[in-house]
């Protein structure tokens, strides 16, 4: 009998269980988005090859436990019929997580599902010194907790005020949760404190005269951890306004990790060891 490469099986989504030659199959689901027919296929596989149940992971994936070693190829073939495949595990870019985004949520500032699919196509499964988690959240409500990820992306909006259209009604000030805007209707005075703003866009959406315009973009966070060590990711750059620039930043980050990390070292630990200034220096010419 051929020797079983358990490490390779885990790398390709079949995680060894406590029970010998049983595996929990992690299905690759991008941004928590799965079609109804695909759910039916997952159900079929769980009934036929598992124990008639699935496990919902903390990162929006589905695991099918109790897949037998001898059924692995058959399970992969069945999933492929529905356009599904096992997720990458081990030292690689893991499943891309995302919230609904502006296609569903009224607070959303970007289509996070569409961006998750772009990230999945470009980065999912990329081999690295250790696992690398990417999370995308469409606004500062932060449902996907961008700061917990190795690299997190948060939707943002930069407000811009047009005095000629403003009636100084003060509604923007009322909806601002961060007290970044104050309005004096009698003195016709509008004050915006950028340092207090979290770029949520509530003022722009709430302005009845469109005196506040907004430019949508992304805030990128680096080095979050939420496992054996807990660390909040850092924002090293101002708002990014194009996906092209965003992808450049991700590419630079992953290359930095590959270059400087020790095998088995998480990204945050690498940057802490070699210095955050070294990572920041990599982004100096990003906008040139």
Residue 256's CATH number: 3.30.413.10
Residue 176 is assigned to a structural domain of this protein? yes
Distance CA 55, CA 62 (A): 6
Answer with the one of 81, 115, 131 that is the final residue of a domain: 81
**pLDDT tens, residue by residue, 28-37:** 999 999 999 9
Q: Does pLDDT of 288 surpass 60?
A: no
Same-domain check for residues 74 and 201: no
Q: How confident is the model at residue 285 (pLDDT cuts 50, 70, 90)?
A: confident
Mean pLDDT, range 131-141, rounded to an integer? 97
Same-domain check for residues 174 and 146: no
Residue 91 is assigned to a structural domain of this protein? no
Q: Based on the structure, what is the number of domains in the chain?
A: 3
pLDDT at 287: 60
Q: Are 110 and 102 in contact (CB under 8 A)?
A: yes
Distance CA 43, CA 206 (A): 44
Sign of the four-CA dihedral 73, 79, 85, 89? negative
Q: How confident is the model at residue 183 (pLDDT cuts 50, 70, 90)?
A: very high
Residue 60 is assigned to a structural domain of this protein? yes
Q: Does pLDDT of 209 surpass 70?
A: yes
Same-domain check for residues 127 and 229: yes
Q: Which two tokens stand for residue 221?
A: 């966070």
CB within 8 Å of 97: residues ≥ 6 apart = 31, 32, 59, 60, 116, 133, 134, 135, 136, 144, 149
Same-domain check for residues 241 and 116: yes
Distance CA 237, CA 226 (A): 22
Taking every pair of C-alpha atoms in the chain, what is the biggest distance, in angstroms? 86
Same-domain check for residues 265 and 275: yes
Which string of b and e fits 158-169 if b means at least 16 CB within 10 Å? bbebeeeebebe
Collapsing DSSP states into helix, strand and coil, what is residue 219? strand
Residue 92 is assigned to a structural domain of this protein? no
Average pLDDT, the chain: 96
Same-domain check for residues 269 and 132: yes
**pLDDT tens, residue by residue, 98-129:** 999 999 999 999 999 999 999 999 999 999 99
Same-domain check for residues 247 and 144: yes
Residue 288 is assigned to a structural domain of this protein? no
Q: Does pLDDT of 69 surpass 70?
A: yes
Same-domain check for residues 122 and 26: no
pLDDT at 258: 98
Q: Are 146 and 154 in contact (CB under 8 A)?
A: yes
Return the DSSP state at 146. G
pLDDT at 4: 83
pLDDT at 2: 65
Same-domain check for residues 31 and 108: no
CA-to-CA separations, 129 to 92, 134, 255, 262, 263, in angstroms, rounded: 8, 15, 11, 7, 5
Residue 200 is assigned to a structural domain of this protein? yes
Residue 45 is assigned to a structural domain of this protein? yes
Same-domain check for residues 48 and 131: no
Q: How confident is the model at residue 286 (pLDDT cuts 50, 70, 90)?
A: confident
Residues spanned by the domain of 125: 97-154+217-282
Mean pLDDT, range 214-220, rounded to an integer? 97
Same-domain check for residues 204 and 224: no
């Amino acid at each position: 009998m051929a020797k079983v490469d358990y490490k390779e099986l885990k790398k390709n989504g079949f995680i060894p269980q406590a029970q010998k030659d049983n595996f929990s199959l992690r299905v690759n689901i991008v941004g928590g988005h799965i079609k109804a027919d695909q759910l039916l296929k997952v159900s079929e596989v769980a009934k036929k090859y598992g124990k008639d149940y699935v496990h919902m992971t903390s990162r929006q994936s589905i695991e099918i436990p109790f897949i037998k070693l001898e059924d692995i190829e058959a399970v992969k073939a069945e999933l492929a019929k529905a356009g599904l495949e096992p997720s990458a595990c081990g030292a690689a870019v893991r499943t891309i997580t995302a919230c609904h985004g502006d296609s569903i949520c009224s607070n959303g500032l970007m289509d996070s599902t569409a961006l998750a699919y772009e990230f999945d196509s470009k980065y999912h499964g990329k081999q690295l010194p250790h696992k690398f988690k990417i999370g995308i959240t469409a606004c500062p409500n932060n449902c996907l907790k961008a700061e917990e990820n190795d690299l997190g992306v948060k939707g943002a909006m930069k407000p811009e005020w047009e005095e000629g259209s403003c009636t100084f009604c003060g509604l923007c000030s009322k909806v601002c949760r961060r007290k970044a805007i104050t309005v004096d209707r009698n003195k016709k005075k509008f004050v915006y404190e950028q340092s207090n703003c979290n770029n949520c866009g509530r003022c722009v959406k709430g302005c009845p005269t469109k005196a506040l315009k907004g430019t949508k973009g992304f805030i990128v966070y680096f080095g979050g951890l939420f496992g054996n060590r807990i660390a909040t990711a850092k924002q090293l750059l101002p708002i990014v306004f194009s996906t092209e620039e965003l992808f450049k930043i991700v590419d630079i980050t992953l290359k930095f990790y590959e270059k400087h990390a020790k095998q088995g070292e998480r990204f945050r630990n690498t940057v802490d060891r070699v210095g955050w200034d070294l990572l920041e220096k990599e982004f100096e010419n990003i906008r040139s």
